Amino acid sequence: MKEDRIVERFLEYVQIDSETKNEGEFAKRLKLDLEALGFEVYEDDAGKKVGSNTGNLIATLKGDKDAETIMFSCHMDTVSPGNGIKPVIKDNVIYSDGTTILGGDDKAGIAALLEAVVKIKEENISHGDIQFIFTIAEEGGLFGSKNLDYSKLKGNKCFVLDSGGDIGTIVTKGPAQDKISVVIKGKPAHAGVCPEEGISAIEIAAKAISNMKLLRIDENTTANIGKITGGVATNVVCPEVTIEAEARSTVIESLDSQTEHMVKTFERVAESFGGSVEVNVERMYGEFVIEENEEIVDKAKKAIKALGIEPIVTSTGGGSDTNIFNGNGIAAVNLSSGERAPHTLEEHVYIDDLKLLRDLVLELIKE
């Protein structure tokens, strides 16, 4: 029954709706569960800043020995469609019923954290102070961690449980991201009567994009045109197009170069057509690079090996709260929480991975 308890907790958690900026009900449940385990729970004011119905939760469990505070983090929100989740177990794997995501991203990590503490209590394991940081609005912008009350954190290292793949994966490198918003302005004209009097914003966009280096730029850098909107009617030369794009890299010089390339291409082509362009670039988050010989990586490796698993040290092309923690002076790595096919209706979690993740958290605390 103890082995099944983490499954029961996970099944309960994923059935509590918590789409981005609507994490309130789940936060209330977590607060009750954490306090029942002896945690002191603090809610910051990030919710007011980002428009969520709750803030981030920072939960602290006092230890019984003098040791460095160990910190873990997961996000409480899920992507859509994430309301009314109905989990189904097939062949020791947990799925949704196919109409929603499952919510293992990131409730697998949350369930594992609380169940690890339950085992600590049951087995009377000595430990230092433990802090859990449960963020809001991670999906789509990392807004919770960007607005976290960092003055309440007691440690300077954090294990983020929010990566996919096999348990035992340690993500030590992640890219910075630039969001590139573009408005291309041409000149309207009747497409059938006097098209030569117009300047097509769509034609400018097409020419500019066809002259850009996109997708995989190098081993550290990617770029993408994500969204294009514009146009009035088929008989009107298009006067305006808006484009949403991005560039990412773990090497800031490469990111700056790629972003500049994209901006300059839009500007050059627009000018050549007699049109104009407005471009706004926003650095969404910075990169993080944790060297493999750093203490936090060494601790993760030891804990993973204690479970009989060979650690996998890798990098990611995605952003997570790990980026923001590192940017705020907290050494953080992202550990796999066993997420499989996240953000899809095929998302699933292996029950064995849930148990392994719980045991990994327990080993990290022992370390």
> Over the chain, what is the mean pLDDT?
97
- Domains of the chain and any CATH numbers: 2-174+287-366 (3.40.630.10), 178-285 (3.30.70.360)
Q: Are 184 and 344 in contact (CB under 8 A)?
A: no
- What is the length of the chain? 367
Q: Are 48 and 66 in contact (CB under 8 A)?
A: no
Q: Where residue 209 falls among pLDDT bands split at 50, 70, 90?
A: very high
Q: Where residue 135 falls among pLDDT bands split at 50, 70, 90?
A: very high
Task: Please tell me the pTM assigned to this model.
Answer: 0.92
How confident is the model over 321-359, as pLDDT tens digits?
999 999 999 999 999 999 999 999 999 999 999 999 999
> Tokens standing for 26?
């789940």
Query: Does position 1 have pLDDT exceeding 70, yes or no?
Result: no
Residue 77 annotated among the catalytic residues of the structure: yes
- Give me the pLDDT at residue 367, please: 78
Q: Is 343 annotated as a binding residue?
A: yes
Q: Are 248 and 175 in contact (CB under 8 A)?
A: yes
Per DSSP, 310 falls in state -
Q: Find the mean pLDDT for residues 284-291.
A: 96
**Residue 189: partners with Cβ closer than 8 Å, 6 or more residues away:** 195, 196, 197, 198, 236, 237
Q: Where residue 87 falls among pLDDT bands split at 50, 70, 90?
A: very high
Query: Does position 3 have pLDDT exceeding 90, yes or no?
Result: no
How confident is the model over 12-44, as pLDDT tens digits?
999 999 999 999 999 999 999 999 999 999 999
| Coil/strand/helix, residue 38 | coil
Residue 121 φ/ψ, nearest 5 degrees: -65, -45
Query: Does position 156 have pLDDT exceeding 90, yes or no?
Result: yes
- Give me the pLDDT at residue 140, please: 86
Q: Which of 138, 178, 339, 359 is catalytic?
A: 138
Query: Does position 4 have pLDDT exceeding 90, yes or no?
Result: no
Q: Which of 77, 139, 287, 353 is catalytic?
A: 77
- Give me the pLDDT at residue 2, please: 56
